[in-house]
């Protein structure tokens, strides 16, 4: 590294370490006092307090604040209105200073508690020009926010409103990307002001500690970039022995580097409003003026409220979009798991649904790598290169998921790979073997227009100088793909968990399990448990939040929006039902049987009563013969009968009249029950598949269901050492049978 490069790195490090929350001084358009919270005596004061009070700061220390105010002002009485959890400056009173003070005008008093002291900030009482009551403006603005069709439109409406309230010459809103660069998405400006709409501000313009301060303190005002800061006396907070932490002080002085940055930009006053979404700094509304400009407390409060409402609106919209995306991800996970469960290998299952595999990750190509083969789907690198990538990941990647949006940058050992793709997302799906699922994305070449070259220089004293140029500068960015979203990475992890616990367990236990039935049961139990564990709670959250969104925001949505919400809720509830059924299915293989005498006649009648709402407006002819008693688990047998009778009702829909016959045949060693209907029937060529998990012989659009009911029936009957079968003919009905032993061996 050259000397210049070393000096630059050191300057960047010094800039990153600048403790801007403890500047030790304030902006001089007001004065600050730090009080002991117990006796309300002054511990620290800004040096410029003497200009306002006519008393040297050293004489102020130790005196009571009330003695500085005209009349019988009682600070402690006013503090009762300060909310206990309030950490931001809170307006408690307007006062005049003591007789003889150089300043006789009305002043505003703002207080907050932090760093073990009570902050008292005193600033001029500024009358707003034009609008004096901002409540109607903000109320009207908030009521119209739902009309915005996009986040960009929300931001544009917000900057227009902020400009109307404050009168700043230029107001813009930008969003930070993953690297911290800020893209200007909305702007309004007076004639003569440079405009930056669509341009990028580099991440280096705002150091990390400044971003954190923006995150916790939602507003910052600089009335005059040429101000002379007023230091605190003493510099050290007597209560902590450290410089006073002024993170939330309205008068806090800012970094000299930032003030120079403003002057370089032709800006002498500014106000920044933070947009915080889900606890993270999403973006900023930035206000600039080419002359010094005070901002009244009313204006600041109105703008701060506007930014908070904007943050909530963006958070709500993004959460809604994430919910939809997450629902789609989980639906595809279920589809892939279902396909894998029906096949002998992961590859065979996924190859049945190639488009689902690609759509799941939003990829152009995918690879399924096992010990035996490398299967490619869509646009991918050649097989030999995919295998080389897998070997590289086995050596270098320590986590379960590897992802990059720039192959050339992050996988230097395989330079040829970047000629075939720009992005890779890979997940290991075995804890023993080098089995991977890999997705690929192509390069997305894009032009980025910066507000000047994103470069800084080192000054004579070794400090980082701010940029001098804000002229447009274009850069062509190559080698990157569309970034992999956190939701997709989370979905891949969930898929991996399910695969490890479900399908691959089947392959890895084949050599150890001799009993085929025991192996199948364990797979199904693990499958059901993993899916219910992974999907049940999130699906309930989706359904619950969708319902809550409809209740809270439904009145402001269009008919189309409410219909979309209904579709989401319906899909989430269907998926929830599927997960619940899977959980019940797994419990059938684990729960102990509690055998007793069961009256089949009474049980069938009870099932009919439970299902009565399903056929309330239909004509069904029931033919129920004499039914004997059997020895079985009443709860499990009730579930089996419920599934079979419900299917008969469902698949006779459209028959007028429908006929359902329930009868029994007594054999020497077993009792057989049958349920016959005149419904749509089925092709006997698929009779063996009827009782499999997720097997459906009819379209879901025609007959609702999750495809688990008959699998549950077989599991229940086999737990009783019985057997289940079916026969039917297309459009001529079906008959489902099960037989239970007269003398079961299970206890």
Q: 208-216 and 3-17 helices cross at what angle (nearest 10)?
A: 20
- Per the CB < 8 A criterion, the answer to whether 263 and 133 are in contact is no
Q: Which of 586, 550, 585 is CA-nearest to residue 568?
A: 550
In sequence order, the 6+-apart residues with CB closer than 8 A to the CB of 520 are none
List of E strands, 226-383? 230-233, 236-237, 242-243, 269-277, 280-289, 365-369, 374-378
Coil vs helix vs strand at 561:
helix
For the chain, the first-to-last Cα distance in angstroms comes to: 79
Coil vs helix vs strand at 414:
coil
- What is residue 697's predicted lDDT score, i.e. its pLDDT? 52
The model's pTM: 0.63
Q: Which of 7, 16, 18, 19 is CA-nearest to residue 459?
A: 7
Report residues of the chain scoring pLDDT below 70. 1-17, 127-133, 397-399, 431-433, 454-465, 501-537, 539-541, 543, 554, 567, 569-592, 688-689, 692-709, 745-747
Q: What is the pLDDT of residues 492-522, one digit of tens each?
A: 998 988 887 665 555 455 445 444 545 565 5
Q: What is the token pair recorded at 137?
A: 């403006």
Indicate the burial class of 208 (C-beta count within 10 angstroms; 0-12, 13-18, 19 or more). Answer: exposed
- Beta-carbon count within 10 A of 670 CB: 18
- What is residue 701's predicted lDDT score, i.e. its pLDDT? 47
Indicate the burial class of 723 (C-beta count within 10 angstroms; 0-12, 13-18, 19 or more). Answer: middle
Q: What is the token pair recorded at 64?
A: 């009571």
SS3 content of the chain, % helix, strand, coil (to 5): 40, 25, 35
State the residue for tokens 């370490």.
17
- Per the CB < 8 A criterion, the answer to whether 243 and 237 are in contact is yes
In sequence order, the 6+-apart residues with CB closer than 8 A to the CB of 662 are 604, 622, 623, 624, 625, 627, 645, 673, 674, 675, 676
Element (H, E) at 241: none
- Per the CB < 8 A criterion, the answer to whether 240 and 115 are in contact is yes
User: Rounded CA gap, 727 and 725, in Å?
Assistant: 7
Q: Which of 125, 131, 142 is CA-nearest to residue 164?
A: 131
In sequence order, the 6+-apart residues with CB closer than 8 A to the CB of 647 are 709, 710, 736
Coil vs helix vs strand at 708:
coil
- Per the CB < 8 A criterion, the answer to whether 649 and 613 are in contact is no
User: Rounded CA gap, 153 and 48, in Å?
Assistant: 44
The Cα-based distances of 631 to 22, 377, 597, 671, 742 in angstroms read 79, 53, 5, 10, 7
- Per the CB < 8 A criterion, the answer to whether 10 and 91 are in contact is no
Q: What is the DSSP letter of 283?
A: E
Tell me the backbone φ, ψ of residue 458, rounded to 5 degrees.
Answer: -95, 125
Q: What is the token pair recorded at 52?
A: 């306002």
User: Rounded CA gap, 570 and 564, in Å?
Assistant: 10
Coil vs helix vs strand at 703:
coil
- What is residue 534's predicted lDDT score, i.e. its pLDDT? 63
User: Rounded CA gap, 104 and 70, in Å?
Assistant: 10
For the four alpha carbons of 287, 290, 294 and 296, in that order, the dihedral sign comes to negative
SS3 per residue for 347-404 = HHHHHCCHHHHHHHHCCCEEEEECCCCEEEEECCCCHHHHHHHHHHHHHHCCCCEEEE
User: Rounded CA gap, 680 and 661, in Å?
Assistant: 15
Question: What domains sit in the chain, N to C, each tagged with a CATH number?
Answer: 12-19+129-311 (3.30.450.40), 25-124 (3.30.450.20), 322-445+479-578 (3.30.450.270), 596-741 (3.30.565.10)
Coil vs helix vs strand at 293:
coil
CA 417 to chain centre: 32
- What is residue 11's predicted lDDT score, i.e. its pLDDT? 45
- Beta-carbon count within 10 A of 525 CB: 18
Coil vs helix vs strand at 512:
coil
User: Rounded CA gap, 263 and 727, in Å?
Assistant: 86
For the four alpha carbons of 445, 451, 453 and 459, in that order, the dihedral sign comes to negative
Q: Which of 245, 244, 249, 256 is CA-nearest to residue 220?
A: 249
- What is residue 452's predicted lDDT score, i.e. its pLDDT? 76
User: Rounded CA gap, 520 and 342, in Å?
Assistant: 11
CA angle 674, 677, 680 (to 5 degrees): 130
- What is residue 360's predicted lDDT score, i.e. its pLDDT? 94
User: Rounded CA gap, 255 and 245, in Å?
Assistant: 15
């Amino acid at each position: 590294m050259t000397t210049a490069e070393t000096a630059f790195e050191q300057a960047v490090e010094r800039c990153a370490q600048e403790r801007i929350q403890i500047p030790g001084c304030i902006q001089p358009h007001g004065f600050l006092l730090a009080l002991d919270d117990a006796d309300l005596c002054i511990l620290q004061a800004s040096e410029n307090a003497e200009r306002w009070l006519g008393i040297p700061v050293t004489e102020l220390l130790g005196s009571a604040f009330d003695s500085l105010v005209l009349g019988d002002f009682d600070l402690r009485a006013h503090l009762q209105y300060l909310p206990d959890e309030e950490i931001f400056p809170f307006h408690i009173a307007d006062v005049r200073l003591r007789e003889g003070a150089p300043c006789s005008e009305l002043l505003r008093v703002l207080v907050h508690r932090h760093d073990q002291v009570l902050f008292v900030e005193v600033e001029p009482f500024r009358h707003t020009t034009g609008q004096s009551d901002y409540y109607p403006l903000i109320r009207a603005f908030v009521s119209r926010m739902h009309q915005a069709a996009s986040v960009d439109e929300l931001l544009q409406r917000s900057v227009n409103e902020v400009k109307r309230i404050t009168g700043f010459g230029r107001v813009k809103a930008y969003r930070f990307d993953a690297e911290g660069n800020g893209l200007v998405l909305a702007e309004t400006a007076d004639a003569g002001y440079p405009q930056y709409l669509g341009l990028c501000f580099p991440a280096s313009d705002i150091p990390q500690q400044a971003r954190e301060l923006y995150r916790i303190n939602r507003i910052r005002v600089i009335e005059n970039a040429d101000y002379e800061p007023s230091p605190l006396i003493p510099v050290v907070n007597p209560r902590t022995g450290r410089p006073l932490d002024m993170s939330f002080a309205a008068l806090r002085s800012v970094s000299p580097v930032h003030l120079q940055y403003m002057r370089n930009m032709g800006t002498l006053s500014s106000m920044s409003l933070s947009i915080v979404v889900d606890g993270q700094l999403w973006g900023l509304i930035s206000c600039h003026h080419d002359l010094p400009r005070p901002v009244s407390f009313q204006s600041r409060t109105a703008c701060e409220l506007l930014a908070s409402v904007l943050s909530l609106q963006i958070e709500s919209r993004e959460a809604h979009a994430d919910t939809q995306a997450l629902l789609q991800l989980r639906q595809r996970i279920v589809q892939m798991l279902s396909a894998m469960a029906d096949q002998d290998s992961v590859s065979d299952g996924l190859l049945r649904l190639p488009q689902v595999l690609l759509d799941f990750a939003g990829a152009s190509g995918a690879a399924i790598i096992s010990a035996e083969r490398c299967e490619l789907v869509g646009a991918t690198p050649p097989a030999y290169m995919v295998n080389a990538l897998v070997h590289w990941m086995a050596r270098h990647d320590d986590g379960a998921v590897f992802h990059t949006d720039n192959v050339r940058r992050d996988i230097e050992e395989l330079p040829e790979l970047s000629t075939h793709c720009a992005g890779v997302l890979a997940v290991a799906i075995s804890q023993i073997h080098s089995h991977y699922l890999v997705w690929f994305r192509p390069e997305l070449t894009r032009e980025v227009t910066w507000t000047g070259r994103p470069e800084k220089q080192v000054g004579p004293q070794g400090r980082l100088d701010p940029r001098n140029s804000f002229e447009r500068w274009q850069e062509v960015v190559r080698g990157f793909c569309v970034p992999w979203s956190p939701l997709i990475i989370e979905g891949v992890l969930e898929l991996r968990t399910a695969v490890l616990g479900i399908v691959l367990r089947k392959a890895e236990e084949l050599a150890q399990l001799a009993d085929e039935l025991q192996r199948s049961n364990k797979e199904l139990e693990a499958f059901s448990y993993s899916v219910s564990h992974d999907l049940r709670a999130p699906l309930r959250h989706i359904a619950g939040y969708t319902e809550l969104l409809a209740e809270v925001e439904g009145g402001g949505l269009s008919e189309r929006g409410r219909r979309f919400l209904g579709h989401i809720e319906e899909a989430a509830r269907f998926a929830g039902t599927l997960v619940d059924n899977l959980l019940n299915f797994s419990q059938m293989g684990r729960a102990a049987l509690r055998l007793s005498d069961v009256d089949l006649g009474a049980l069938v009648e009870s099932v009919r009563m439970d299902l009565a709402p399903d056929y309330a407006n239909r004509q069904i002819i029931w033919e129920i013969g004499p039914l004997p008693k059997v020895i079985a688990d009443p709860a499990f047998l009730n579930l089996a009968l419920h599934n079979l009778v419900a299917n008969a009702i469902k698949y006779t829909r459209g028959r007028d009249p429908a006929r359902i016959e329930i009868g029994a045949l007594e054999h020497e060693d077993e009792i057989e029950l049958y349920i016959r209907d005149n419904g749509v029937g089925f092709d006997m060529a698929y009779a063996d598949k009827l009782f499999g998990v997720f097997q459906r012989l009819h379209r879901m659009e025609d007959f609702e269901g999750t495809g688990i009911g008959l699998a549950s029936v077989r599991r229940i009957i086999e737990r009783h050492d019985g057997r289940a079968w079916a026969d039917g003919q297309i459009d001529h009905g079906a008959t489902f049978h099960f037989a239970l032993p007269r003398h079961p061996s299970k206890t």
